Amino acid sequence: MSDVRIKHDADDENEVHDVATFADQARNVVTPVLRLPEDAALAVVTAFAGIVRAAKRSTAATTRDRDGIVRSQVFEEGDVYMLESPFDGFFADRYVMDFYNVTERGVCSRMHLHTGLRFVRMMTGPDTRIRVSSLSPFEVTDIPGVTPFVPEAFDDELPGAPEGVRRTRHNLVVPPCSFVDMQIPRGVSHQFNAIGEHAVIDSVHPEESVETFRERMSGYRMMAQTVFLADELPPSDSCDLRA
């Protein structure tokens, strides 16, 4: 395991690195899992989103616990709730994210990377898609007879890059009423944007305590464990889907 720190300031919640010189050291791996009927997909996504929304109203979830953890947090892509926290002898945790609808919000999330690896399961309901992006091509799992579909993929140019800098953005689309997994190695760029009302992520951080110690962070905070590759949130038309 590399002990090289990624962040310049461990607790900075808006640290931005130079996108012109950034290079991914690995690739994200995407695995389509299943398609669901509309009513089943809506029930699952609504139930997960309900957990996050209940946490926002909870005094216990919005104040520090005995370990100094605030379970209800806010990230660029949506509201999050730490469903399961790390403890001595178990350095992983689990978050649920209730996505913002970028069309309604008017802005997209920024391309970013994390100081520790992530495993995410993206889930969509009716009339909702998630655009997943990276500065490196995705590896897509396709096991004949098992993998239910191959996601739509396309490339475009990363918006908001400094003058004279051009970076290719690789994109995948999670279709409505689908579960799609993604393995995100430490320090690899990615960007999620939901188009529609019904999208959640169930996210496992298998080295949460390790990365916090490695970076010398003072607590478990999604924003502090993130490095952005743009100064500002781009407008929603920069992460919309092609007609």
pLDDT of 1 reads 44
In a domain? residue 12: no
Rounded to whole angstroms, how far apart are CA atoms 119 and 28? 10
CB 172 within 8 A of CB 184: no
CB 214 within 8 A of CB 140: no
Domain that holds residue 44: 29-230
pLDDT of 162 reads 86
Counting the structural domains of the chain, the total is 1
In a domain? residue 7: no
In a domain? residue 10: no
pLDDT of 243 reads 40
48 or 68: which carries more pLDDT confidence?
48
Alpha helices (H) in the chain, listed in sequence order: 38-56, 59-62, 102-105, 208-215
Is the predicted pLDDT of residue 176 greater than 70, yes or no? yes
CATH of the domain at 53: 2.60.120.10
In a domain? residue 129: yes
Confidence of residue 15 (pLDDT cuts 50, 70, 90): very high
Rounded to whole angstroms, how far apart are CA atoms 124 and 175? 7
The residues facing 34 across adjacent strands are 179
Q: What percent of the chain has pLDDT over 70?
A: 98
Q: What percent of the chain has pLDDT over 90?
A: 92
Indicate the SS3 state at residue 188.
coil
**pLDDT per residue as tens digits for the range 197-233:** 999 999 999 999 999 999 999 999 999 999 999 999 9
In a domain? residue 41: yes
Q: Give the residue-averaged pLDDT of 143-154.
A: 97
Mean pLDDT of the chain: 95
Q: Give the residue-averaged pLDDT of 156-168.
A: 90
What is the DSSP secondary-structure string of 134-145? Answer: ESSPPEE---TT
Q: State the CB neighbour count (10 A cutoff) for residue 39.
A: 11
CB 94 within 8 A of CB 80: no
Q: Give the residue-averaged pLDDT of 94-103.
A: 96
In a domain? residue 11: no
In a domain? residue 183: yes
In a domain? residue 141: yes
